[in-house]
A and B are shown apart, each in its own frame.
Chain A
Amino acid sequence: MPDERGRELLALRLYDELDADEARELDARLAADPGLRAYADELDAGLGRMPRLGAAVAPPAYPRVRGARRWWPLAAAFAAGVLVTLAVDAWREPTAPAPRPDAPVGFGRDAPPIAAPVTGRFARLLRSAR
């Protein structure tokens, strides 16, 4: 199995969280470690590059899953759907809370609907590590 630091850097790359130094470090590790390269290739090839969802995706945020099915095996697509479930859960109308006596207007049922940013990158975590 590739070393943990290498896998951590690959995880950060999945979420576009590498800074310049870390990117260089990852490149050096990939150049030096065939196991890490194979692991990285598996991540990229098996699941593909997931399209990003912007923060302002309107609910329900499920077009990503339908899009994913064009690129990935069915199992990976459903895995991505599960991850959407983690992020958004059942997209139901929220039940209105009991009004609080001194609550100002503007929260509670008036709070804006939320579109959680669903990246779908979590599906990459399903790939077997070598």
Chain B
Amino acid sequence: MTSARERFDTLVAEHGATVVGVCRAILRDEHLGQDAAQDALLRAWERLRDGVGAPTAPAAWLRRIALTSALDLRRRRSLRDDDARHVRAPSPVESSVESPAVHAEFAELRARLDRALETLSDRERTVFVLRHDGGLTLAEIADTLGVATPTAKTQFARACVRLQAALARFDPKRSDTDAR
């Protein structure tokens, strides 16, 4: 009979990457994602140690804990009106951008994408980022959220269409032309 510690170590080995991926996708920030993942794994450890809710489907169980942890952190940061999450260090791609003008376009587009994501409902945004960034299949997302797969698929598709409409107005080519 495996101990709680052994089961936990196995879970981390098999699903730790998924936990971090889920958290980072929800929080859209590397450091916050790691923080939430830490919290999620600690919660999982405590439940295993205390014999509470031994998972029959460990992967889905851990994903749900990760999602809860990430959403909790997101809500706490929203309540604190913490602007730090909107300030990001430039990515390697951004840092490699050669001209200030292109860098400015880059930054503007990123800001538009961030705003577009915020226009989605909580569920649409969750489904979208988990599919697009979190590495989960729609079936896994549905399982995590406790909905049917067709429901998750519809929510994902609608999120895509809404984001597309929100972002379609941004055209760097037109911006270049206007600037000349």
Give A residues with C-beta under 8 Å from B: 4, 7-9, 11-12, 14-15, 17, 55, 60, 62, 65, 73-75, 78-79, 81-92, 94-95, 97, 100, 103-104, 106-108, 111-112, 114, 116-119, 121-122, 124-129
Contact = CB atoms under 8 A, between A and B. Distances in A.
Contacts of A65: 93
Interface in B133-163: 133-135, 138, 153-154, 156-158, 160-161, 163
Residue among A9, A12, A62, A126 having the largest count of chain B Cβ atoms under 10 Å: A126
Interface range on chain B (Cβ under 8 Å from partner): 35 or more
B102 A78 contact: yes
A100 B170 CA distance: 46
Nearest 10 CB-CB pairings of A with B: A11-B160, A75-B172, A8-B157, A81-B93, A125-B164, A90-B89, A107-B41, A87-B133, A128-B168, A85-B91
B123 interface: no
A62 B109 contact: no
B37 to A, nearest CB: 7
Contacts of A55: 135
Contact of B30 (A81, A92, A103): A92
Contacts of A111: 12, 16, 20, 34, 37-38, 41
